[in-house]
Amino acid sequence: MSRPILAVVGRPNVGKSTLFNKIIGKRVSIVEDTPGVTRDRIYGEAEWCNRPFIIVDTGGIEPNTNDVILSQMREQAELAIETADVIMFLVDAREGITTSDREVAEMLMKTGKEVILVVNKVDTGKLPDNFYDFYELGLGDPVPISAENMLGLGDLLDMVVDKFPKLEEEIEEDTRIKIAVIGKPNVGKSSLINTLTGENRVIVSNVPGTTRDSIDTTFLWKGEEYILIDTAGIRRKSRIQENIERYSVIRAISAIERSDVCLLMIDAQEGITEQDKRIAGIAHKEGKGIVILINKWDLIEKDTTTMEKYRKRIHAELPFMSYAPSIFISVLQKQRLDKVMEAAKYVSESRAMRIPTGQLNNLIMDAMMMRQPPSDKGRQLKIYYVSQVGIKPPLFSFKVNSRDLMHFSYARYLENKIREGFGFEGTSIKFVFREKGDEGNV
C-alpha cells in the first residue's frame, strides 16, 4: 500500500519550509527569510496517529511571473500538487491576503483535491484582525498555526490524516503479483514491459525520462494474471534537466511501495552506479522481492568467465542484497527474457513462504551447535525459541536472554543458515529479538 502524499504549497516566504521541517522533525529544507530559497521540491517521510505519509515541500508559487527561477518553482509546485492526495495551502497572517494568494487559491480549487487553508504566523492565542478575510479565498475554514512556535500543528495534522484516503478504501483484495520495473532512465524498462506483454502500451524512446508517471499494465503469463508497474527512471539530482523529472521520483517510490517484486534493471555497459545503489536501497528498505536484470548484455565482449565475474561485482557493490538473483538479458535481442517472469514468480513465492516452527527451531539449534553464540563478560547469548511471525517479507521472532548479546555478525550467520535451509531467494529477511516480558525491537 502506497503512503499518501501531502504537498505544502503557497507563495514565497510564508513559512512552508519551516512547517515542513517541524512535521518531519528534521532540518531538511533550507530555511531563510528570503523569498525563493526553496527552489525545488523536497520530500520527506512523516507519521501522525500511526499513519505514515510522504510530505513534499515546494518552492513558492508566483502565479504570473516572467522570472525564470520563479516560473520553474511554479512548475515544480504544480507537479507536486498533481501527485498529492492532500494539499496544505499556506498563507501569511501578518501580510493578509495578496493577489498571489487569490490566484493560487483559484488554481487549487480547479484541482478537485482536498485542500486545507493554513494561516501561518499566528504566534499568539489571539487571532489577528484580518483572520476572517481569508474566508474570501473560498477554501473553507482557515486553520491558524505558528509553524515556528509549533502552535496548532497537532490539530492541523489531525485534519490532514482525516482527509487522506481511508485505509479500507486503499486495501483491495488483489492476489495478482505486482511487479515494479525500476532503474535509471534509458536502461530499457519500457522496452522490457512492451516485450513481456507483447503490447505497445508504454511509450518507448531513447530519450531519458520519457516515462513521466507510473503505468500499470495487466497481462497473462502461463495462464496467470500479473500487473507490471513501469516507473519513471530515478535520476541523480545533478543530472536532472527537466522539472518534470523531479516529480517522477515520488511516483517511483510509491510504485515500489505497492509492488511485490522489483525488477532492478542495470545497464551492462555502465555497470553498477551510485544511482543503482540508491534505487536498490529503496527497494531493499521496503522489504520487496528483488530480481537484478543486467540489460544490454549482447553489447559486452564475453568469455566463459565474464558472467560469473560480473555477478561477483554486483554482490560486491550491493552487499546488502546478496540474496537477489541476477539475470543477464538483452531486451533488444530478446535474450533470456523467459527467465525474467520465472524469477519474478519464484521470488514472490519466497516472500510469502512460511516455515513450520519445529523445522525452524531444529535448524537454529543445529546452527548454534556448529557455531557457539557470542558472549560478553561471562554471559552467553541464549536463544530459547524461534518462530516466523510474518511474511512479505519473512519476519522471524527470536526469544533470547539478552538482545544486547546478539551481535550483528551472529544474526547474519543465522540469516545465512535460514537461507541455506529454506531458500528465500530474492527477498530480505527480518529478525525481531525479544526478551522475556517485552515486545522486543526489530
Query: How far is it, in rounded angstroms, from Cα 84 to Cα 163?
Result: 12
The pLDDT tens digits of the residues spanning 274-293 come to 878 888 888 898 899 999 99
Same domain, 26 and 140: yes
Same domain, 45 and 148: yes
Same domain, 85 and 154: yes
Calculate what percentage of the chain has a pLDDT beyond 70.
Answer: 78
Nine-digit cell string for 346: 519464484
Confidence of residue 414 (pLDDT cuts 50, 70, 90): very high
| 3-state DSSP helix/strand/coil % of the chain, to nearest 5 | 35, 25, 40
Q: Does the pLDDT at position 172 exceed 80?
A: no
Task: Please state whether 118 falls in left (phi above 0), alpha (psi between -120 and 50) or beta.
Answer: beta
Kindly report the CATH number assigned to the domain that includes residue 388.
3.30.300.20
290 membership: H or E segment, kind and range: strand 289-295
Cα torsion 68, 69, 71, 72: sign: positive
Residues 72 and 243 sit within 8 Å (Cβ to Cβ): yes
- Name the residue range of residue 408's domain: 357-434
Which amino acid does the sequence have at 379?
R
How many structural domains comprise the chain? Answer: 3
pTM for this entry: 0.64
The pLDDT tens digits of the residues spanning 201-236 come to 454 444 444 343 455 778 888 888 888 886 644 444
Kindly report the CATH number assigned to the domain that includes residue 246.
3.40.50.300
Q: Which one of 351, 367, 394 terminates a domain? A: 351
Same domain, 90 and 227: no
Same domain, 164 and 187: no
Query: Residue written as cell 564475453?
Result: 302
Q: Looking at residue 387, what DSSP letter applies?
A: E
Closest C-alpha among 121, 87, 132 to residue 107: 87
Average pLDDT over the chain, rounded to an integer: 81
Query: How far is it, in rounded angstroms, from Cα 224 to Cα 242?
Result: 39
Query: How far is it, in rounded angstroms, from Cα 396 to Cα 360?
Result: 10
Nine-digit cell string for 159: 485534519
Closest C-alpha among 366, 202, 394 to residue 383: 366
pLDDT of amino acid 252: 66
